[in-house]
Chains A and B, each alone.
Chain A
Amino acid sequence: MSTVYDSTAVARSPVPFLRDLVESIRKPEFWAFSSWLDTVSRYRRTRLGLIWMFLPMAIWIVVLGNFYAQVMNHPKAEYLPYLGIGYLLWRFIVMVTNDAVNSFRTHKSFILDGRTRLTDYVLRTLARATFYIVMGSLVVFVVLVWSPEVRWQNMLTVFLTFPFFLLNMVWWVFVMSLFGARFPDTSEAIHTALMLGFLLTPILWVGERYAFGGIAWFLMNANPAYHLISLIRNPILGQAIPYSTMVYLALLTMFGWLVAMVLYKRYARYVPLWI
Chain B
Amino acid sequence: MKASIKVDKVTVQVPYFLQPQELSGGWLSTLLRAASSVPKRQFATLLHEISFEANEGDRIALLGRNGSGKTTLLRTLTGAFPPSDGKIRLEGTRQALLNMNIGFNQEATLIENIFLRATAMGFSTRMVKELITPILEFAELGELAGRRLLTLSSGQRMRLGFSIATAVSTEIMLLDEWFGTGDIHFVKKARERLMGHIGGSKIVVVASHNQALTNRLCNKGLVLERGRLVYYGPLDQAVKEYATIKPTPNPDLPTSIGDGFAKASGVGGMKISQQG
Closest residue of A by beta carbon distance from B79: A114
Of the listed stretches B47-55, B102-110, B208-216, B258-266, chain A binds B102-110
Please tell me if the beta carbons of B124 and A29 are within 8 angstroms of each other in the complex: yes
For the residues of A in contact with B, the DSSP-based class is helix
Q: How far is the CB of A124 from chain B (nearest CB, A)?
A: 11
Taken residue by residue from 87 to 106, chain B's Cβ proximity to chain A (1 for < 8 Å, 0 otherwise) reads as 11111111011110111010
Counting chain A residues whose Cβ lies within 8 A of the other chain, the interface size class is 20 to 34
Q: How far is the CA of A110 from the CA of B15 in the complex (A)?
A: 19
Q: How far is the CA of A42 from the CA of B106 in the complex (A)?
A: 10
Answer whether residue A113 sits at the interface, using C-beta atoms and an 8 A cutoff. Answer: yes
Q: How far is the CB of A44 from chain B (nearest CB, A)?
A: 5
Q: How far is the CA of A274 from the CA of B86 in the complex (A)?
A: 20
**Residue of B14, B87, B94, B107 touching A4 (CB-CB under 8 A):** B87
Please tell me if the beta carbons of A113 and B119 are within 8 angstroms of each other in the complex: no
Please tell me if the beta carbons of A273 and B81 are within 8 angstroms of each other in the complex: yes
Please tell me if the beta carbons of A269 and B82 are within 8 angstroms of each other in the complex: yes
**Chain B residues whose CB sits within 8 angstroms of the CB of A270 once the complex forms:** 82
Please tell me if the beta carbons of B105 and A116 are within 8 angstroms of each other in the complex: no
Closest residue of A by beta carbon distance from B84: A7
Closest residue of A by beta carbon distance from B71: A112
**Chain A residues whose CB sits within 8 angstroms of the CB of B78 once the complex forms:** 112-114
Answer whether residue A115 sits at the interface, using C-beta atoms and an 8 A cutoff. Answer: yes
Q: How far is the CA of A202 from the CA of B183 in the complex (A)?
A: 61
Q: How far is the CA of A239 from the CA of B7 in the complex (A)?
A: 63
Answer whether residue A70 sits at the interface, using C-beta atoms and an 8 A cutoff. Answer: no
**Residue of A2, A33, A44, A109 touching B99 (CB-CB under 8 A):** A109
Given contacts A34-B103, A42-B107, A112-B98, contact A5 B82 (CB under 8 A): yes
Contact surface of A with B, Cβ cutoff 8 Å: 1-7, 9-10, 27, 29-30, 33-34, 37-38, 41-42, 44-45, 109-116, 269-270, 272-274
Known: A3-B91, A109-B101. 17 other contacts (CB 8 A): A1-B92, A4-B87, A4-B88, A6-B83, A6-B88, A30-B120, A33-B119, A34-B103, A37-B112, A41-B107, A45-B107, A112-B80, A114-B75, A114-B78, A114-B79, A115-B120, A272-B75
Q: List 6 A-B contacts (CB under 8 A).
A: A2-B89, A29-B119, A30-B119, A30-B120, A37-B116, A272-B81
